[in-house]
Amino acid sequence: MIFPAIDIMDGGCVRLLKGNFSDRINYDVSPVKMAKRFSAAGAEWIHIVDLDGAKDGKQAQSSLIIEIAQSCGINIQTGGGIRDLNHVKKLIDNGVKRVVIGSLAVTNPDKVKLWIKELPNDSICIALDVNINKRGIPYPAIRGWTEPNEKSLWNILNNYNDSGLETILVTDINRDGAELGSNLSLYENIQDKYPNLNLITSGGVGSIKHVESLKLLDPYGIIIGKALYENRFTLEQAINC
């Protein structure tokens, strides 16, 4: 399944390169219009990131995200700066289908596991945005990719065994926005180790061949962002390839 992405900053659509807030491209289209375009093109889901929230830990774009969820007739998953259960419930109660938890899933997994148990099935996805070290071990970064942490991806995912977690989103930070292809070996490794988790891939897609290569792995979802905004191919092509 293809998840077209909308990254929101200052109320507009943007893309970052490798998570760098200073390396930002602004697009002259509103997030609501972009969501409606994606819906009309056949998308079943849209992935929305509140980059202001990811950077500052505040609920900066919640009203806009709720407007999209209620007006565009499409399933929405969203994340960025989500730190408390009331925020999660507000989004779910107002039409968002799945909430993506990033930094908190790493720094306070016990809290997130409680949320998973309290909310309806698959309302929570954890997002793990990784840097690969010299030994090939993925380590998630936190707080909008600005801070490293000491736990590996495998440590973190093992801690969610038997939690009820169904869906994970994994990004190779060094591939994000670069359009040079996804980290296929990373995703194969995740699927081998955790076959019962729904894996959403993110980062690196720049051509239809990249989409085809990911589809051969048969992940639950493939997030595509910059390539769609830069017209490398159409969403319809990505869905149908």
| Residues assigned a catalytic role | 7, 129
Q: What residue type is 4 in one-letter code?
A: P
* Among the listed residues 55, 4, 60, 58, the one whose alpha carbon sits nearest the alpha carbon of residue 27: 4
Cβ neighbours around 13 below 10 Å, total: 22
